[in-house]
Structure 1
Amino acid sequence: MAATPPVCDFGWKAPDFTLPATDGGAYTLGNLQGDNGLLLMFICNHCPYVLAVLDKINRDAADLKALGIGVAAICSNDPVAYPADNFDNMRKLAREHAFPFPYMHDADQSVARAYDAACTPDFFGFNRDLALQYRGRLDATRVNRQAPELRRDLFEAMKQVAKTGEGPAEQIPSMGCSIKWKAA
């Protein structure tokens, strides 16, 4: 089922966390943040919305790093109900797609809850003060409608954040599969 996150809550402060990653490391906000900000992405392995844009995510991550924006991804889906999203499969996906960023596992889903993540992909763009400035889409790509030359909404917004510390006032929400929450 498709889900859409809420609009950007400008200035909202990023909650800290420590999560294990597929590269064997453990990461916190402090060691993910770049000089000009941080992009956190909630993604997963099986979502067709994510799979449709993985190459673009890699491209934008590399380009944003060059602008001083740290980039990382988090998978928070229930790996029991959705085995494709378990940690071994996360490692496999990160390796197969040569992710240029840490891909972290939120096993207890506490980070997704703290961020109020709604879908995969869900993009959170923070400035150098870790204040939220972007919560929008990557671009206009849809699962069954690919177009290589779309405006790079996420990249352009984060480029603005890197330069000015502020994101664009107008943002189009991301759309994707809902986070797969564990049964209560």
Structure 2
Amino acid sequence: MSNDPAEYPEDSFENMQRVARDLHFPFPYLLDATQDVARSYKAVCTPDFFGFNRHLQLQYRGRLDASGRLPAPPDARRELVEAMRLVAETGRGPHEQTASMGCSIKWRN
């Protein structure tokens, strides 16, 4: 969980499940309630994308695209999609990877 839902109700699991449903996410929206997964991946912000090959070797760690607080330009590269296509085709991620940028994870002890 990246934010405390008591302080950021819009980030609550229940609200984010609604957002995922309303936006038709083609994947499940999950909760890392203990933050163990985020810690084991050494995630630092949300979103922080991790892409693995079939041998479960990390091949991509980076951003979705050039969007940030504002939408990406219409001609922006789809960096995550391109990276994962490369991993699917070759088993290797791209040499150049741009780090994720987003809200820092609010760690609990």
* Alignment TM-score, normalising by the size of structure 2: 0.89
Residue-by-residue CA offset, 1:85-132 (whole Å, 9 max, x unaligned): 222112211111111001100111111111111111100000011110
* Distance across 2 between alignment mates of 1:79 and 1:114: 22
From 77, 97, 101, the equivalent of 1:171 is 97
1:90 paired residue number: 16
Alignment of 1:1-184 (within 5 A): 75-144=1-70, 146-182=72-108, 184=109
Question: What one-letter code is carried by the residue in structure 2 that aligns with 1:92?
Answer: R
Residues 174 and 117 of structure 1: is their aligned pair in 2 closer, same or farther, counting only changes over 3 Å?
same
* Distance across 2 between alignment mates of 1:92 and 1:112: 22
Asked if the contact 1:77–1:109 (Cα under 8 Å) also holds between the matched residues in 2, the reply is no
* Distance across 1 between alignment mates of 2:69 and 2:40: 28
Residues 181 and 82 of structure 1: is their aligned pair in 2 closer, same or farther, counting only changes over 3 Å?
farther
* Distance across 2 between alignment mates of 1:88 and 1:137: 25
Asked if the contact 2:68–2:102 (Cα under 8 Å) also holds between the matched residues in 1, the reply is no
Residue-by-residue CA offset, 1:109-165 (whole Å, 9 max, x unaligned): 111111111111100000011110000121112313631211111111110000111
Aligned-residue identity in percent: 62
Residue correspondences, number: 109
Of stretches 138-147 and 119-128 in structure 1, the one that deviates more from structure 2 is 138-147
3-state SS of paired residue (1:154): helix
**Which residues of structure 2 form unaligned runs of 5+?**
none
The Cα RMSD (Å) is 1.6
Residues 92 and 119 of structure 1: is their aligned pair in 2 closer, same or farther, counting only changes over 3 Å?
same
Question: What one-letter code is carried by the residue in structure 2 that aligns with 1:96?
Answer: D
Residue-by-residue CA offset, 1:34-58 (whole Å, 9 max, x unaligned): xxxxxxxxxxxxxxxxxxxxxxxxx
Asked if the contact 1:127–1:165 (Cα under 8 Å) also holds between the matched residues in 2, the reply is yes
Residues 181 and 80 of structure 1: is their aligned pair in 2 closer, same or farther, counting only changes over 3 Å?
farther
Question: What one-letter code is carried by the residue in structure 1 that aligns with 2:72?
Answer: Q
